Amino acid sequence: MVLSQIGAALDTLLEWEQGTAEPMLELPPDPGLGDAAFPCFSLAKTLRKAPQQIAAELARRFALEGVEAEAAGPYLNFRLNRAAYAAALLREAEKQPRCGTGETVVIDMSSPNIAKPFGVGHLRSTVIGAALYRMYAEAGDRPISVNHIGDWGTQFGKQITAYKRWGSEKKLNAAPIRESLDLYVKFHDEAPDDPSLETEAREWFRKLEDGDEEALRLWRYFVDVSLAEFDRMYERLGVSFDKVLGESFYNDKMGKVVDELRERGLLEESDGAQVVRLDDQDMPPCLILKSDGTTIYPTRDLATAVYRHDQLGAQKLLYVVGAEQTLHFRQVFAVLRKMERKWADDCKHIPFGLMKFEGKKMSTRRGKVVFLEEVLDEAAARASAIIEQKNPQLQDRKAVAEAIGIGAIIFGDLKNNRIGEIDFSLEEAVQFEGETGPYVQYTHARACSVLRKVSADSLTDAPTLPEALAKYSWDEASWELLKRLGDHEEELRRGLRRHEPSVLARYALDLAKLFNRFYHHNKVLTDIGHERTVRAELTRLAALRLRRSLDLLGIRSPEEI
């Protein structure tokens, strides 16, 4: 709010289009230099003056009530009148953000494969997608979360082949997911020495597409047991979906897409397969039908995109899928443009980097899978052990440990830039100190504890907030906390612009650090009425913003730890 006012004043002063200067404003490295800074380097060429001279001239001409401008070399620093702006900043901290446009956003997320375990590798798409969903809803848009289950494709031919050759119905019923994984791994171990396996797998998938009764029976079994397993994991992660539509849902919708491609003259034969050429965009051909006439991922994703736009009313389509699929989505979006779907430009791939576990890359084919359930159990157990040391009398300790353990895993992912590779360390993630989820959760619980004490020990003659603000002397710790509390909407806007939940995770960490500094330097339960009123309000807003930031990330906030 304050930065927008400073930016608008600069736009007028420089005769710029409104909204130009605000994104250029920076926070000074030292709070003692002021509350905002405007670098003048970019003006030197157009104004033909040294940045230092430009800053000095702007300082003399700048006029905004309650804001003092001062040149510091090539920077124009701004210092707010704290008494004048405190009330406005408090209102800003309380405000519900509404920075969206009300558009419908379909978010493709999680998308595990049937008959495969829900491993740590599935975590990133799930929690990044869920965070973006909540962020869009917070901004006032209409997100629709879709779990695009991998329940079709040649892997089912492989799965059925492996079961037919080596499977046991008794073993499968006893441990369906682990037995399915063992069979899938065995297929890939044996395939290099037995070419007939791949041929048999292709034949079983062809039977599946043709509606063969036995193929469909086994397919439905794998789907049902897998969905039950997935639902248990989603419940623990606090994730739900508006739509759960597997790839098979689009089987009767692909023919129309293929027919349209053929009618538009976009399909060409290549080694017996049907492709769409993308040479004009420096990409390899997009495969639509394989040489045996079966469909493949791009075919289904084209049908999926058309359905989401035409039937779900999507104005924006987001695909939260690993960075290794970047070329695939570039091809799909390019084909949509060739089909003259103008909305193809509103289809966005939201890539993310690999997650390694203790330095090891996971692979379902090789059986190198770290089961997410085991990681969640271990995280909750470690959190419980820490709570036993710190607060053995805590009520609902099991529920709190679950919230902290799972929150530690989610935060350990989302605090990182999504495109970066993560080497996940459970030991680091569950610590109550450092840049961790438990640190933020513990800070929130501390603020809640302070508020309970304030409520239990209220002053009979405590002044109202406006009265208290008129007397309050703003120390640096109080002032820096207040300013950051009002940044919620701007951080949300920035996170959505970049599709980057780590923006909110970093904001939560900043707030936690600033609140702890404020708490260390200021006694909230003081007998001085105006100090108690203001500090209690800062504590309340800190708890509110910490809780809301964690909520958006999908992390619970216990009020007592």
Judge whether 438 and 408 are in contact, CB under 8 Å. yes
Euclidean distance between CA atoms 440 and 408, whole angstroms: 10
DSSP letter, residue 419: T
Low-confidence winner among 94-98, 155-159, 164-168, 364-368 (lowest mean pLDDT) = 364-368
367: pLDDT confidence band, cut at 50, 70 and 90?
Answer: very low
Euclidean distance between CA atoms 248 and 233, whole angstroms: 22
- pLDDT, position 144: 98
Q: What is the overall mean pLDDT for the chain?
A: 92
Phi, psi of 269 (to 5 degrees): -85, 140
Euclidean distance between CA atoms 441 and 437, whole angstroms: 6
For the cut 60, the answer to whether the pLDDT of residue 360 exceeds it is: no
Greater confidence (499 vs 30) lies with: 499
Euclidean distance between CA atoms 79 and 6, whole angstroms: 11
Judge whether 6 and 78 are in contact, CB under 8 Å. yes
Greater confidence (292 vs 347) lies with: 347
* Rounded to 5°, angle at Cα 232 from 230 and 238: 100
- pLDDT, position 186: 92
**pLDDT tens digit sequence for 120-159:** 778 999 999 999 999 999 999 999 999 999 998 888 999 9
Q: What Å distances lie between residue 376 and 104, 236, 293, CA to CA? A: 33, 8, 43
- E strands, 323-441, are 347-350, 355-357, 422-424
177: pLDDT confidence band, cut at 50, 70 and 90?
Answer: confident
- pLDDT, position 365: 44
Euclidean distance between CA atoms 175 and 189, whole angstroms: 21
For the cut 70, the answer to whether the pLDDT of residue 91 exceeds it is: yes
Structure tokens belonging to residue 397: 């300790």
Judge whether 90 and 544 are in contact, CB under 8 Å. no
Euclidean distance between CA atoms 541 and 1, whole angstroms: 17
For the cut 60, the answer to whether the pLDDT of residue 361 exceeds it is: no
Q: Quick one: average pLDDT of 65-76?
A: 95
For the cut 50, the answer to whether the pLDDT of residue 208 exceeds it is: yes
Q: Quick one: average pLDDT of 408-421?
A: 94
DSSP letter, residue 433: S
For the cut 90, the answer to whether the pLDDT of residue 108 exceeds it is: yes
370: pLDDT confidence band, cut at 50, 70 and 90?
Answer: confident
The fraction of the chain above a pLDDT of 70, given in percent, is: 98
Collect all residues with Cβ–Cβ distance below 8 Å to 204 and sequence separation of at least 6: 156, 157, 160, 161, 164, 215
- pLDDT, position 368: 59
460: pLDDT confidence band, cut at 50, 70 and 90?
Answer: confident
Q: Quick one: average pLDDT of 430-458?
A: 95
- pLDDT, position 2: 75
Listed by start position, the domains of the chain span 2-80, 104-357, 383-553
Judge whether 328 and 360 are in contact, CB under 8 Å. no
* Closest by CA position to 153, among listed 194, 190, 116, 124: 116
Structure tokens belonging to residue 242: 């508006």
Q: Pairing mode, if any, of strands 75-80 and 36-39? A: antiparallel
- pLDDT, position 366: 46
If you classify domain 104-357 with CATH, what class do you get?
alpha beta
- pLDDT, position 295: 77
User: The domain 383-553: what is its CATH number?
Assistant: 1.10.730.10
Buried b (16+ CB within 10 A) or exposed e, 32-66: ebbbbbbebeebeeeeeeebeebbbbbbeebebee
Asked if the 2-80 domain carries CATH number 3.40.50.2300, the reply is no
Euclidean distance between CA atoms 444 and 163, whole angstroms: 51
